[in-house]
Structure 1
Amino acid sequence: MKRVLVVYYSQSGDVRNALEALTAPLRAPGVEICWRQVDSVPRYSFPWRAVEFFDCMPEAVTGRPPEPAPMGLDPRERFDLVILGWQVWFLSPSLPMQAFFTAPQAEVLRGTRVISVICCRQMWQRAYGGMRRLVARAGGVLTDNVVLTHQGGSSAGYLTAPWLMITGRREKLAFLPAAGVSSGELQGLERFGQRLRETADLWAEPRPAPLLADLAPAKVPTASLLPETAIAPLMVALARIARLCGGPGSVLRKPVALLFVLTLVVTLPVLLVTSAVLTPVLGRVFAGRLTRYLRGTQALDPQDGCR
């Protein structure tokens, strides 16, 4: 009997739907799938209030998650495979998922192959680096990363993602596509589950190698690298200032949150347009460096998870 643990956090339902589609081929005799949804104390509402949404930025960026909620998982349990489903908040893993790694239950990852499944906008590389570090510290071995991005590309996601988070509505608006992950992308996840089923005997190999790499599980939109690289240092600086002004809900740090929102409104559209123009040129000039960076965002040395 092979045992699979699915740990996830889902607000809009995209992450849960993605994991259901990916694990469908694994629902077979000889495979036990254990589902556990992580959460935090206090819980984050959905849809969000705009103030509450942006007030999460300092803790997400600085890695200060709230208390994890009980999830009914014995940290001594052992599984053959762990699948983590999560979102990106402010270029970082979502706070409830960060909270999971502060709980004793994260011990279930130790010495176990881990597959990451992200539902997000296009900018996920920095957050995935953070997830790699969290898994490695817990003793897990992260070998593969599957990424599903919102419909319409970076420019559309700049508007539809906040619209979904604050209103909970997905429908197509005027010239914008529907918010969230498309049904076509969800249907395409079955190939990953089928590969995992076919390679079940390799899940626990001593030096685990990626199992999904040739199926193109993570397409990196190079046009998003410039905006992400430019915004990250500013976001870190504002997050640290906000933390100095007080904890979540503090009145003193509301001006910092407002400054962050204004910065996004003013700079991100400029960066997106600039990136669209410069990316083809920079891609040629820095081809070797870009290739090394992209490889680093999609793979982790299996030994790193055991150090």
Structure 2
Amino acid sequence: MPEDHPPARDLQTRLKSYEGRPAAVSATGKDPVNLPMIRHWCEALGDAHPAYAGPEAIAPPTMLQAWTMSGLGGPGGLGGHTGRAQAYDELLALLDASGCTSVVATDCEQEYLQPLRPGDEIAFDTVIESVSERKTTRLGTGHFVTTRTDVRVGETLVGTHRFRILKYAPAQAKKTPPRPRPVVNRDNAGFWEGVERHRLLIQRCTACAALRFPWLPGCAHCGGPDWDTVEASGEGTVYSYVVMHHPPFPAFDPPYAVVLVELAEGVRMISNVVGTPYDKVRIGMPVRLAFQSYDGDLTLPVFRAAERDVAEEAAV
């Protein structure tokens, strides 16, 4: 065995030794909490809640991680935050040396304790919370690394962000690689159960009747925790789209269009337009919901060009 690939037991012991060690110490945000970033965030998500605008504005709670990000310059570079600890770089280097050279973000959890307001200067500490034993996934075998970031304004803890990545050795390519599977959890299980029955379900707050997508545990408009569902009609239009050329990803054949569809009910969702060449997709294109099966056991909601749009294309 090569020297840079330590035995599994020794490697696991070394990986576990990083648990509890800092990944960032007394780091500071690249920018104060500010209205332009809040506005860009809300415009991108289509969130027009009045709490996020005006002289008494607060930042959307889900922006918690945004204020800690160092930007393209990286930690300490081009104005990026300082405070990154050597232990995290050592851990990633150890995983690289063991053959786990690829990385994918898997999930995050956030806890909000206090609202952030424009002008707040944030500081944070990040700890390596856990490193899993070697796991086998569809992408390959590797280790899940979880970090916990405590975000503060002054001495006040305002939120906690847990972020989990998988550092893995890519699996051998297959002739027909399967589609990635969605992450199903307690917050979105009802949505995927509906998809299995070929129903596109949208959450509706029972307190204020606001619709929301993707599924969330609480209402972003009134904060109410209770909800029911309405079934989407299936009509929509392409609100925006991008054409993916690179990087290539198993089970996908670039170039292909990834679309943001605005449903007739007013919410938006990310999907694909099938049956239409990527260079024929355009903003404002009417589409209709369809359900497509992949790999024999995966059903996904997709969209097809509406009949009137197809007729227009043929006329041209």
The interval holding the TM-score normalised by the smaller chain is: under 0.3
Higher helix proportion (structure 1 or 2): 1
Higher strand proportion (structure 1 or 2): 2
Q: Report which structure shows greater RCO (CA 8 Å, sep ≥6).
A: 1
Query: Of the two, which has the highest radius of gyration?
Result: 2
